[in-house]
Amino acid sequence: MNWFCELVGRLWTLIHRKQFDSDLQEEMRLHREFREQAQIELGLSPKEAHYAVQRRFGNDLVLREESRDMWGWNWLEHLVQDVRYGLRQLRRNPGFAAVAVLTLALGIGANTAIFSVVNAVLLRPLPYTEAERLVTLDETGELQAGMGMSVAYLDFRDWQRENHSFTQLAAFLGDDFILSLPEGTEYLHGRDASADLFSVLGLRFALGRAFLPEEDRQGGRPVAIISHHFWQQHFNGSSTVLGQAVTLNDKAYTVVGVLPAGFRFVRESDVYVPLGQVDPVQLQDRKVHSGIFVIGRLKPGVTLDQARSDMALVQGQIAQAYPEADKGIRATVMPLKQYLIGDDGRTLMLFLVAVGFVLLIACANVANLMLARSNARGREFAVRSALAGCCKTDDLRGANGFSREKAHK
Amino acid sequence: MHQDEIPPGTLYLLILKALARHGELHGYEIANWIEQVSDEVLQVEEGSLYPALQRMLIKGWVTAKWGVTARNRRARYYQLTPLGRKQLEVEVSQFERVVEAITRAIQTA
């Protein structure tokens, strides 16, 4: 508790330091008067007594300064003095101040701008549950050299069944829809999604549910999941939307779920329908197909390398079983974040380093300006240090600021 | 008369003792009491007295309030707090231990 009492005491003196100072001054004056009185009683003349006491006391200001030292706030007073002095100098030279402020502002501004991008893109995790365990899977071969969207649906189904590395694998395909409304038609961007897509991402529905496995196949019930935006726009956010029908490409789909607000994956989509119901022509051929985008969630404790060798094994078996379509095709696994950022990450870091140097250069320029100015102010420094009665070059404050401490030493 | 300065560290002890003995004293009275009680051997420098009092105020060993002297002068009177009383015991026992040790050391033949 002692340190606490002391802290409170110190704060008290900080708040009331004018009062404390004047109290101290008055009690020291009184002390001196008593002392003088005593000297006079010993037989000294009032004048002699006065000087004797003066000698004994020494410099009143120094004494008060030393007493104030005990409050432990001198550093703060010096800081305030230095800041005031700095502000005074800036006001006196508005041109210099403007140039210095502008230089630093540009340097700092550029850094802040780039850093906020780096923070958003590189540092912050993707907005999905345990996003570090999300990966994308792809097929590469002689024909399929692209990045993403090139997996055959049947291969994907085999991967789902055979792998030992993922809690879930999900797939989707970008698709366009024509929405029929009483007042006309509207073009929509949507997706064909496998039943697990939303649970792989760890999504919580605003309303309703994901697709059921039996809906995610040929002949399943036509159901749709809509985006939050679409829900607000066409259903005014009404909770009765579940079970209602939307007409997409002249086919009636029943709404079973509403995605949470702000959800986007790679890009925003208005509607999702089951991938398994897509025209078999697009899905049922291993060799010629639309190419789907596959993501997976690694099982806890499974590393990327383990998943890669597992998938190499699985895909190897598929290639053996279907040599005509899958010969020479390998499965690749890549962290989702790496896939989404791509080479932009390196470019961004390069930018960050570059603007870092810009700030350094700005600082160097300001330092140069200061140096040039202090050369011009040589005379002023000389006068100041002479007036301050102190020639210590190691403490610029004394020369600079007319600090009270130095002024009377 | 030869006067000695108070050994460093014992000024707090003497101030605490003065206040414990008299209850309420202002700065000059404290200095005076120490000089008188030591037969003018110990001399209290104002340069150390007031910093010491400020420090003791912050430590919460003493409190200060303004009062009036017998001759009707405004003066600042110091008083011990319970914390200060405890501190006095600590300082006394510490001092005695040190003095005893030093005495033993110089009496060793």
Predicted local confidence at residue A291, as pLDDT: 79
| Rounded average pLDDT over B82-104 | 92
Q: Contacts from A85-88 at CB under 8 Å and sequence distance 24+? A: A85/A400, A85/A401
**The CATH number of B4-107 is which of 3.90.230.10, 1.10.10.10, 2.160.10.10, 1.10.3720.10?**
1.10.10.10
Minimal CA separation from B106 to chain A, in Å: 34
- Per the document, the length of chain A is 409
Tokens representing residue A221 in the block: 């019930």
Other CB atoms within a 10 A radius of the CB of residue B75 amount to 20
Angle between helices B27-37 and A17-41 (to 10 degrees): 50
Grouping H, G, I as helix, E, B as strand and the rest as coil, residue A17 is helix
B28/A31 CB distance under 8 A: yes
Q: In what order do the strands lie in the sheet with B24-26?
A: B24-26, B74-80, B62-68
Portion 71-110 of A in contact with B at CB < 8 A: 71-72
- Please report, as a single letter, which amino acid is at residue A176: D
Q: What is the DSSP letter of A126?
A: P
Predicted local confidence at residue A143, as pLDDT: 61
Nearest-CB residue to B59 (from A6, A23, A56): A6
Regions of chain A with pLDDT less than 50: 390-396, 398-409
Contact A229, A268 (CB under 8 A): yes
Between CA A200 and CA A321 the distance in angstroms is: 28
| Rounded average pLDDT over B53-76 | 87
Predicted local confidence at residue A268, as pLDDT: 84
Contact B76, A22 (CB under 8 A): no
Predicted local confidence at residue A394, as pLDDT: 40
Contact A176, A190 (CB under 8 A): yes
Alpha helices by DSSP H, A179-303: 197-200, 228-235, 280-283
Minimal CA separation from A56 to chain B, in Å: 8
Query: Which residues fall within 8 angstroms of residue A122, CB to CB, at 6 or more apart?
Result: A341, A345, A348, A349
ipTM: 0.81
Domain limits of chain B? 4-107
Contact A96, A370 (CB under 8 A): no
Predicted local confidence at residue A215, as pLDDT: 92
Please tell me if residue A340 touches chain B, with a CB cutoff of 8 Å: no
Between CA A174 and CA A192 the distance in angstroms is: 6
Nearest to B88, CA basis, from B59, B50, B67, B54: B59
Predicted local confidence at residue A27, as pLDDT: 85
Q: What torsion, rounded to 10 degrees, do the Cα atoms A296, A300, A304, A306 define? A: -110
A28 contact residues in B (CB cutoff 8 A): 27, 46, 50
Nearest-by-CA chain A residue for B29: A31
Using alpha carbons, list the distances in angstroms from residue A5 to A14, A111, A176, B76.
Answer: 14, 44, 72, 22
Could you identify the residue written with the tokens 């700092």? Answer: A108
- Indicate the average pLDDT of chain B: 87
Angle between helices A94-118 and A74-92 (to 10 degrees): 110
Between CA A35 and CA A29 the distance in angstroms is: 10
Between CA A70 and CA A65 the distance in angstroms is: 9
Query: In the predicted model, is pLDDT for residue B57 greater than 90?
Result: no
Predicted local confidence at residue A389, as pLDDT: 55
Grouping H, G, I as helix, E, B as strand and the rest as coil, residue A166 is strand
